[in-house]
Amino acid sequence: MTQSKKFDVAIVGAGFAGMYALHHFHSLGFSCQVFETADGVGGTWYWNRYPGARCDVDSLEYSYQFSDELQQEWNWSEKYAPQSEILEYANHVADRFDLRENIQFNTRIIAMHWNENSDSWVLESNLGENFNAKFVVMATGCLSKPHTPIFPGIESFTGTILHTSSWPHRPVSFVGKNVGIIGTGSSGVQSIPIIAEEAKSLTVFQRTPCYSIPARNRLMDKEYEEKVKASYSKFRQENAKLNAAISNNPNNQSAMEVDAEERLKTYEQRWQSGGLPFLAAFNDLNLNKESNNTAVDFIHRKIKETVKNPEVANSLCPDTVVGCKRLCVDTNYYETYNRENVKLVDVSATPIEEIINDGLRTSITKYNFDTLIFATGFDAMTGALLSIDIRGLDGQTLKDKWQDGPKNYLGLTINGFPNLFTITGPGSPSVLANMIVAIEQHVEWVGGCLSYLRENSLICIEASEEAEQTWVNRVNKISGKTLYTTGCNSWYLGANIPGKPRIFMPFLGYPNYVTECKRVAEETYEGFLLSPQASDPKPYAKT
Ligand code: NA7
């Protein structure tokens, strides 16, 4: 029988989290192996190759800061980097830091069981291999399990079916094609204007309209880039003090504190400068419905000014709280509905009932097309974790543990699942922070924890049940004061997946979160159970 390979740390996923975890833990002297389903690095940016895919955070911020050489030498071409450039950057990082030799590509981890005899995890891959690791770090991403709604008849469709989140690795031509697209979240909003330019016709099936702010993307402002690079670490430190660790120029006034004229002026300035900072126009847009309504009215007016057909414009105006769902950032999204070849179909009242051989049928009409695109999102934050058969102490499955929603401590560790860490897991700022900043903070916290255990000859770490419950209550208490939980049905709440428990998953407030993580570590890992004994006390060899 072949001996399974042993590592100090197994890392699942080779996106930005997995790559940095590998680099960082190696630098601390731990032996590591990454397992990655794809044949390349990049995670989200490997898979989401749909036309128009780009980041909604400034390039100079959506990048690693762990190496000053790296951040000085890399030049971004645009304010918001396109997917191809972010993927190029991920590949550059993998080469520059010699990461590939410890990444096993084309390998999906399908099961992970805690072995109480050896105090280690046994991982099983789709290739039938077994691996043994003292610690496992889940770097599986927050938006990595695609959601495809189940429509009857899908197998009868004779044209091409695509999903934005698993786009082909070859160019897809829409020239001369009639195209249908389901979904108007960020992926739909980014791809619709570009597909519309090429396709013969594009029919957009919208169940809920989104709020979208013009990106005002442009070539990198070289002067600004030089200024940032001249004091990059200070720039990063300043951003880390902000709620989402993104420089959004927050206005510390309530929308109700200023008169209508000034409010309008503020919104107009934010609309003209573009992007996510729109939501920082006032400090209570996520807290006070009345304040939020003022932003809603402003965006509705912009939509109505842009879209010529009043009926279409009305259908594009959401009636929910702005910012409650992820705000979209676009280039020519609303303008696209003025094109002759684009049709908007509101399926909120007349849902899609079935896919037919040459299109789809709603409850009232039939639509024909050659290509059907699903831009229907993800089973966010918990989907990728729960699609692996994870079993902790006494064989408890993570699926059972999380049947009423995710429960963990600091968004990083789970009671009953020793030596397991989740990077940007539910209960951490994750998707409501700059993801790369959040990733680096998590990886460094885990690195500190692993070093502490080694220095103190400790074998296992596990979140206590009490600390976990207190943490879950804290995450809920913070979000409960906001409009996130009542203003819409978002994927932050799991509301986009039929049957998923409705729990607001991210921790709101990056700076407070970081302070708490630091405090816990300084208080010798308060809230954790640390075990000095193990049934197999042999330390694993360090590389
Ligand atoms: P999103 O934002 O979850 O958007 C998915 C879209 O698909 C949304 O408009 C959904 O409408 C729609 N959808 C889902 N199921 C259906 C059915 N059954 N019928 C009609 N329409 C449906 O995913 P994205 O990929 O666009 O963006 C995900 C994140 O990636 C984004 O927030 C950024 O952070 C990057 P619904 O709103 O549920 O009515």
The tens digit of pLDDT for each residue in 209-232 reads: 999 999 999 999 999 999 999 999
Nearest CA to ligand 1 atom 28: 377
Residue 497 CA to ligand 1 center (angstroms) comes to 10
CATH (residue range 5-41+99-145+380-542): 3.50.50.60
DSSP string, 78-118: BSS-BHHHHHHHHHHHHHHTT-GGGEE-S--EEEEEEETTT
Nearest CA to ligand 1 atom 35: 186
Q: The whole model's pTM is what?
A: 0.96
Nearest CA to ligand 1 atom 17: 149
pLDDT value of residue 4: 84
Mean pLDDT of 104-119: 96
pLDDT value of residue 250: 97
Domain with CATH 3.50.50.60 in the chain: 5-41+99-145+380-542, 146-210+325-377
Residues in Cβ contact with 498 at an 8 Å cutoff, skipping those fewer than 6 apart: none
Nearest in space to 527 (alpha carbons), one of 461, 449, 467: 467
Mean pLDDT of 270-282: 98
Counting beta carbons within 10 angstroms of the beta carbon of residue 533, is it exposed (0 to 12), middle (13 to 18) or buried (19 or more)? Answer: exposed
Share of the chain above pLDDT 70, in %: 97
CB distance 246 to 433 below 8 Å: yes
pLDDT value of residue 216: 98
Residues in Cβ contact with 84 at an 8 Å cutoff, skipping those fewer than 6 apart: 49
Q: Assign a CATH topology to domain 146-210+325-377.
A: FAD/NAD(P)-binding domain (3.50.50)
Structure confidence by residue, pLDDT tens digits, 139-198: 999 999 999 999 999 999 999 999 999 999 999 999 999 999 999 999 999 999 999 999
What does the H/E/C string look like for 161-198?
A: EEEHHHCCCCCCCCECCEEEEECCCHHHHHHHHHHHHH
Residue 40 CA to ligand 1 center (angstroms) comes to 26
Mean pLDDT of 436-461: 97
pLDDT greater than 70 at residue 538: no
Residue 424 CA to ligand 1 center (angstroms) comes to 21
